[in-house]
Chains A and B, each alone.
Chain A
Amino acid sequence: MAQVAVLKRGRRRMLIAVPLLACLAASGCLFAPREAEPPETGTIVRYLEQIAPVNTWDNLETSAEATHAPGWEAAISSLSFMYEPDPVAENQFPGVFTGWNRDKELAFINALYNAKVTIVAQMRNPAFVVPPSSGSESLWEDVIYDLTVTSTVDASKVRYRGLADIKFTLEANFWYISEWHDRQGESDPDSGQLLSTMGVLRGSFASK
């Protein structure tokens, strides 16, 4: 009886060890990333360490102007992220923003950057006074961002300008964007025309 028990125990250990060893062996080839090209001179994308909310927010501008998605992805919280559109964008794309989380935000930014566009961005208006970061949460109210998206296919330019509230959260050692509330579209400083928020930009890519 004791021998049978020992055999059963041995078989059970094999059943545990085999898949563990198999996955470790397989991970080397199945999960090997590609070799990268060394950085080209003159194309260095310079991000700031996300040790303050202002660095995290300004990295969005760097990411947009370089159409470099990893920079935007790094600024979005992986624990909890929500986006709330302004009512006009929500009405224009009903249902699209329900449960807008990190995955949807990343899908949007990759789709935008992959769509043959160039972007000129100013993620905070010069008059905005950056509140000093403190504690583990920081709320920015009334920040005005401005993006101009130019299609390299037909050279058309579409400008987005919105007033937003942004909540930053300190996770481990770095600040991430955990909430983005678009409140209203702002006027084009040059023409005075009312412009859409990034909710319309997000909705356009998420709904098609």
Chain B
Amino acid sequence: MLVAAQSRGNLRCRTVGCARRLGWPALLVLLLAAFAGAAPAQDDEEGAPADSTSGLSALQQARSQVAAGAFPDDGRFFLGLTQEPKAGIRANVQKYTWFGQSTTTALFRSSAQAVGTLEWSWDRYRKQQKTVDSRKGGLTYNFGKQIPLVTTIDGSWNWSEDRTTNTAGYANLFKVDNKLVNLTSSQQKFQALGLMNSVRLGANYNDQAGLNQNQRSEFREGTVQGGVQSGWAMSPGVIVAGRLSGTATGGTRLLADLSSPSSAHGDSVGVGVYFNRGIGTGSIAMTRSSFEKKYLEFRRNANGLVDTVGLDDADKVVTELETRDALSLDLRHAFRIGDFGGTLAASHTTDDQAVATGVAGLKQRAQDSADMTLTYASGRDSLVAFGKVGESWDDQRIKAATASRGRQFVRRREFQFNWYRTLFKATKMNLQYHEELTQDVAENRFNENDKDRLQADFAAKVERAWADRFRTNMVFSFRQTRDISIRGSASSNNNQKDSYELVPGFSWNLAPWITLDQNYRLYIQYTDYLYSYLPTVTRKDDYNKRGDLVTKIVLVPNQRLRFTVRHDSNRRFNATKSVEDAAGSSFYHRDLEQDISKIRLDMVYTVTPGVTFECGTYRTRDDKTSIGRTDSVTRTDSGEIVVGTRVDKTWGVKKDIEVSAMVKKINAYGPSVTASSADFWEADVWLKWLF
């Protein structure tokens, strides 16, 4: 154990020393050296396929070029180079963005690839006094089959300056400058010592400087990580696998004006049994992991919130030591016996997190859950039943406290049953019943927030395809929700809501060039406040009704023209319970009536291939009547018109030049439309050149 700790310490020291001595420029040189060192590498026919984590789209494009024969793999080391500059402008209601980027892709023998990217963008916000200048660079080299391991080395640089002046006139500069070099190498599924093994190694160096509210936040850290997984087939269909991984980080951190060494190390051990035999397929796995981290941190309060108000600069920052231990147990099983099938999943996790300096102290969490699905399919019937139970809790022991706060439990139970049946030819039915209970429980009543939420719902849906051109559907649903706060200090709003919904609809292809869709939705919700009978509780039972009719017509007179007309009409009432007579009959007083009518027209016209003209407009009329001693009637109108064009054109044999342009002019009016939203351009225009 001591030897392991020493070697881990040495490893960290070496990493830190390397980072300190070499710094970012030297590591960039290392990156380039690794790239150059790949040149004389022997071609390895047995190598694993290439892998990459960044610059993916460019790599995929490069691969497609190889596949298309643009760069034939004929034995030469250097196969080809492509440049892809791109520039454009975007605009929307929030901001204008000018951007430019360049992607360079180099292809080498044995599927090796290098991708370099440079990006720049500048944002100017329309509604805020804010600009954001952003610059990024990246270089990725994928060794392909040049070496036996699947290896990628990449470096990135992200720089941004966000200048914001808030409504009080306070101007803030938020600046981030990050440089990262990352190396990953892996070998999947190779035989050694009678075991099937996989190995993954990685290292990175991260250098970041940040500034916010004139406070500096910087770190320079190096990390090494490694992991191995081995599997043993102990009998046909049964594999025992073990996993071991570790990571170590070292460097320095600067916060405000205080600088200090930082470090972190962690490890993870796991073992699992995986089976695929007569009893079905499944696995049992256990993983234990831990880490320790030392870093500079702003002073935080008992809730973990940064709290530096009124402190001297020297007291705002502390050196924190954070430790974390976690354990997880997982069981999964799937089976099938004749027409029956099912899955079972169960898990248990614990997670302890402690800070040595912060007031938050020790936080503990645990979670247990189990869920089961059973299915049965025979003839025209198919049944699915799903059940779930779970409990999680968290606890906290404040630093220097003699006892824990108490566990905050969340308990869940859920059940769902679905029945699918083909009733007649082309007529299908789906019935669903669902019930779920969620409970919040504070141990020893350390707070007053205990509550239960029970939700039960039933839905029935029938669909019929009368012919290819006519389809109908009908949905009926009922939902009951009970929100119950347990403690007397919070139970005044306890209520039960019963909702009913009926939705018939159809879709009719009247002719190849015209389609009609119509849906009607009737929705009623009754709210019963459980303590509304008490004079101190002001909540009164109520109901709300709403009817929506949506009609949509799509016209396609020819291949170049498409019209869409949509009309939404809805009417709603709100009413409050006024009295209840001796017989228990309730009487409601209607206090709000509202009619909303919205019509929308859209047109798309293809001027030439790759060029379309688009326009759309809507208008909404909202009539509202509030019923009281004197009725008050209000009418509001709102609307919008959008006119624009889309262009997608390419030129050249290999589509070397590509232009994409979407430009729209939007004018809007209405009660919630502000000056900046009433008149603006929306655009996304760019030019790309591939050579």
A residues whose Cβ falls under 8 Å from a Cβ of B: 12, 15-16, 19-20, 23, 26-27, 30-41, 43-47, 49, 51, 66-71, 74, 87-88, 91, 110, 113-117, 131-136, 138-142, 144, 149, 151, 153-154, 156-159, 163, 172-174, 183-187, 189, 192-194, 196, 200-201, 204-205, 208
Which residue from B302, B453, B487, B545 sits with its C-beta under 8 Å from A173?
B545
Q: Which of B220-228, B342-350, B528-536, B577-585 contacts A (4 or more CB under 8 A)?
A: B528-536
User: Nearest Cβ distance between residue A90 and chain B, in whole angstroms?
Assistant: 11
Give Cα distance in the complex from A45 to B491, angstroms: 8
How many angstroms between the C-alpha atoms of A113 and B494 in the bound complex?
A: 18
Per-residue CB contact flags for chain B residues 398-429 toward chain A (1 = under 8 Å, else 0) read 10000001001000010101010000000000
CA distance A192 to B592 in the complex (A): 44
Q: Contact check, B435 vs A31: say whether CB atoms are below 8 A apart.
A: yes
Q: Report the Cα distance A91→B161, complex, angstroms.
A: 13
Q: Establish whether residues A49 and B542, one from each chain, have CB atoms under 8 Å apart when the complex forms.
A: yes
Q: Are A132 and B636 in contact (CB under 8 A)?
A: yes
User: Counting CB contacts under 8 A, is B154 at the interface?
Assistant: no
One of B127, B176, B417 near A20 (C-beta < 8 A): B417
- Answer yes or no: B167 CB below 8 A from chain A CBs: yes
Given contacts A33-B454, A37-B488, contact A135 B596 (CB under 8 A): yes
B558 interface residue per 8 A CB criterion: no
- Are B622 and A134 closer than 8 Å at their CB atoms? yes
Q: Is B120 an interface residue (CB 8 A)?
A: no
Tell whether, in the assembled complex, residue B383 and residue A194 are in contact, meaning their CB atoms are under 8 Å apart.
no
Contact indicator B130/A153 (Cβ below 8 Å): no
Contact, CB under 8 Å: B492 / A27: no
B307 touches A158 (CB 8 A): yes
Closest to A42 in B: B536
B660 at the interface (CB under 8 A from A): no
Q: Do residues B492 and A45 form an inter-chain contact, with CB atoms below 8 A?
A: yes
Q: B451's closest neighbor in chain A, by CB?
A: A70
What A residues does B596 contact at CB under 8 A? 135-136
Q: How distant is the Cα of A114 from the Cα of B405 in the complex, in angstroms?
A: 11
Q: Is the CB of B545 within 8 A of A186?
A: no
Smallest CB-CB separation from A74: which chain B residue? B483
B493-510: contact bitstring with A at CB < 8 Å (1 yes, 0 no)?
110000100000000000
Q: Is the CB of B166 within 8 A of A187?
A: yes
Complex: A46 Cα to B306 Cα, angstroms = 32
Q: B212 and A88: CB pair below 8 A?
A: yes
B70 at the interface (CB under 8 A from A): no
Closest A residue, CB atoms, query B436 = A31
Please pick, from B166, B398, B451, B544, the residue contacting A194 in the complex, using a CB distance under 8 A.
Answer: B166
B493 touches A70 (CB 8 A): yes
A205 and B305 CA atoms in complex are apart in Å by: 8
Q: Closest residue to B446 on the A side, CB-wise?
A: A116
Would you call B572 an interface residue if the criterion is a C-beta within 8 Å of the partner chain's C-beta atoms?
yes
Chain A residues contacting B57 (CB-CB under 8 Å) are none
Contact in complex: A38, B456 (CB < 8 Å): no
Count the A-B residue pairs with Cβ separation under 8 angstroms: how many?
A: 249
Binding site for A on B (CB under 8 A): 127-128, 130, 132, 162, 164, 166-170, 172, 174, 176, 210, 212-213, 301-307, 309, 353, 359-360, 363, 376, 378-379, 381, 383, 385, 398, 405, 408, 413, 415, 417, 419, 433, 435-437, 439-440, 442, 446-447, 449-454, 456, 482-494, 499, 523, 525, 530-531, 534, 536-539, 542, 544-546, 568, 570, 572, 574, 592, 596, 598, 620, 622, 634, 636, 638, 670-672, 674, 676-677
CB pair B534–A38 under 8 Å, yes or no, is yes
Closest to B162 in A: A87
7 pairs of residues in contact across A and B, judged by CB atoms under 8 Å: A15-B383, A16-B381, A33-B439, A88-B174, A114-B447, A138-B672, A172-B525
With A49-B574, A184-B166 in contact, do A38 and B488 touch (Cβ < 8 Å)? yes
Bound-state CA distance A125–B440 (Å) is: 33
Question: Which residue of the partner chain A has the closest CB to B176?
Answer: A91
Nearest-neighbour CB distance to chain A for B613, whole angstroms, equals: 27
For the complex, what is the distance from the CA of A190 to the CA of B31, rounded to whole Å? 52
- Residues of chain A within 8 A (CB-CB) of B483 are 70, 74
Chain A hits for B531, CB < 8 A: 38-39
Contact B452 A34 (CB under 8 A): yes
| Inter-chain contact A33/B525, CB cutoff 8 Å | no
Q: Is the CB of A115 within 8 A of B303?
A: yes
The distance in angstroms between the C-alpha atoms of A53 and B432, with both chains bound, is: 33
Residues of B within 8 A of A27 (CB): 415, 435, 456
- Inter-chain contacts of A184 with B (CB < 8 A): 128, 130, 164, 166
Roughly how many angstroms separate A12 CA and B305 CA in the complex, as a whole number?
A: 59
Using Cβ atoms and an 8 Å threshold, which residues of chain A touch B677? 139, 141
Using Cβ atoms and an 8 Å threshold, which residues of chain B touch A144? 167
Nearest opposing residue in chain A for B308, CB measure:
A158
Asked if B419 contacts A16 (CB within 8 A), the reply is: yes
For the complex, what is the distance from the CA of A173 to the CA of B376, rounded to whole Å?
39
Residues of the A chain whose Cβ atoms lie less than 8 Å from the Cβ of B636: 132, 134
9 new A-B pairs (CB below 8 Å) besides A37-B491, A131-B671, A135-B596?
A38-B488, A88-B174, A139-B677, A141-B674, A141-B677, A149-B305, A173-B572, A183-B128, A204-B306
Does the CB pair A132–B489 fall under 8 Å?
no
B482 CB contacts on chain A under 8 angstroms: 33
CB-CB < 8 A to B132: which residues of A?
87
Q: Which residue of B lies closest to A11 (CB)?
A: B378
State how many angstroms separate the Cβ of B33 from the closest Cβ of chain A: 30
Residue from B167, B172, B499, B620 whose CB has the most chain A CB atoms within 10 Å:
B167
Given contacts A154-B301, A208-B363, contact A40 B489 (CB under 8 A): yes
**With a CB–CB cut-off of 8 A, which chain A residues contact B127?**
141-142, 183
Q: Which of B306, B449, B489, B671 contacts A134 (CB 8 A)?
A: B671
Q: Do B544 and A173 touch (CB < 8 A)?
A: yes
CB pair A45–B305 under 8 Å, yes or no, is: no
Known contacts: A15-B383, A183-B128. The answer to whether A132 contacts B671 by CB under 8 A is yes
Q: A70-B451, A208-B353 are in contact. Are A31 and B485 (CB under 8 A)?
A: no
Cα–Cα distance between A49 and B485 once the two chains are bound (Å): 18
A200–B309 Cα distance when bound, in Å, is 16
Which of A16, A87, A114, A159 has the most chain B CB within a 10 Å cutoff? A114
Known: A87-B162, A172-B544. A110 touches B449 (CB 8 A): yes
A195 to B444, CA, bound (A): 36
Instruction: Judge whether B439 and A194 touch: CB under 8 Å.
Output: no
Q: Which 10 A-B pairs have the closest CB atoms?
A: A173-B544, A33-B452, A37-B488, A187-B168, A131-B672, A156-B301, A39-B492, A40-B488, A153-B302, A134-B636
CB–CB A68/B307 < 8 A: no
B437 adjacent to A33 (CB under 8 Å): yes
State in angstroms the CA–CA spacing of A105 and B493 once bound together. Answer: 21
CA distance A188 to B572 in the complex (A): 43
Contacts of B304 in A (CB 8 A): 204-205, 208
Q: Which residues of A are found within 8 Å of B439, using beta-carbon distances?
A: 33-34
In the complex, chain A residues whose CB is within 8 Å of the CB of B638: 134-135
User: Which residue among A20, A27, A33, A66 has the maximum number of chain B CB atoms within 10 Å of its CB?
Assistant: A33
- Say how far A122's CB is from chain B's closest CB, in angstroms: 15
A39 to B449, CA, bound (A): 13
Q: Contacts A16-B419, A43-B488, A110-B440; is A204 near B166 (CB within 8 Å)?
A: no
Chain A residue contacts of B405, Cβ below 8 A: 116
Name the distance in Å between B101's Cβ and chain A's nearest Cβ.
Answer: 20
Instruction: Specify which chain B residues have a CB less than 8 angstroms from the CB of A47 in the assembled complex.
Output: 493, 539
Q: Is the CB of A135 within 8 A of B305?
A: no
Chain B residues within an 8 Å CB radius of A37: 486-488, 491
Residue picked from A132, A149, A173, most chain B C-beta under 10 Å = A173
Q: Chain A residues with Cβ under 8 A from B670's Cβ?
A: 134-135
Minimum Cβ distance to chain A for residue B514 (Å): 27
A55 to B378, alpha carbons, bound, how many Å? 52
Complex: how many Å from CA A149 to CA B248? Answer: 37
Residues in B whose Cβ lies below 8 Å from that of A189: 168
Centre residue among B305, B442, B536 by max chain A CB count within 10 A: B305
Q: Measured between C-beta atoms, what is the minimum distance from A15 to chain B in Å?
A: 6
Task: Name the A residues within 8 Å of B176 (CB-CB).
Answer: 91
Q: Which residues of A contact B536 (CB under 8 A)?
A: 39, 41, 44
